[in-house]
Each structure stands twice: as C-alpha cells, then as structure tokens.
Amino acid sequence: MTAPRISDAMVHLQAAIEALTNEGVLIDAVTGAEAALAPLEACVGDDLIRIDRHICGGRPGLIGCIGQSVRDALIEIIAAQNALQGKMEGGFHVK
C-alpha cells in the first residue's frame, strides 16, 4: 500500500516543481548545443526578486520577500523529491 502513495507523491512534487519554475535552456555560444535549465536556475522566485530590486532600488520589498519564499519552497520540494527517490545519502543534493 505504501508504494502507490510514494508514486502519487512524486507526481505531485514534480507538478509543484513545474509550477514554480520557468521553462528555459542554456545555449552553448560555441556549439549551439542546448541544455535544459535545472529547476533552481529557472525559479520564478528569482524573477520576483529581480523585479523587487528594480522597483525598490535595491532595498528589500514585499515582492522580493515573496520571491525568496518561493525559492525556499522550491528547495524544500526538490529535497523531498530527492529523499523519496533515495538520493539523500551523504547530505543535501539538488538535481
């Protein structure tokens, strides 16, 4: 009975990661090869932090705080996903 619940949780964790990230690719300037951005490199929280810095002139504001919370939540979701996949041996790893 436990296995289906873990697989259900994995589906929901992946959906949460997708909801908190933008789609994006890195393009190698020399070869033109494309590689998908890792979830933490495409976090929508980072966009909110950048917007906040622009609006507030570098001073912390509400939008930036929300962005940081989104980023922190994404880190915890990825950690939970990694733990369920058995990737936590040796410390915290974010894929």
Domain extents in the chain: 2-84
Q: What mean pLDDT comes out for the span 53-78?
A: 94
Kindly report the pTM of this predicted structure.
Answer: 0.79
If pLDDT is split at 50, 70 and 90, which confidence band does 65 have?
Answer: very high
Q: Check whether 2 has a pLDDT greater than 80.
A: no
Q: Looking at residue 32, what is its pLDDT? A: 94
Euclidean distance between CA atoms 18 and 95, whole angstroms = 14
pLDDT tops 70 at residue 68:
yes
Average pLDDT in the 75-85 region? Answer: 94
pLDDT of residue 7: 87
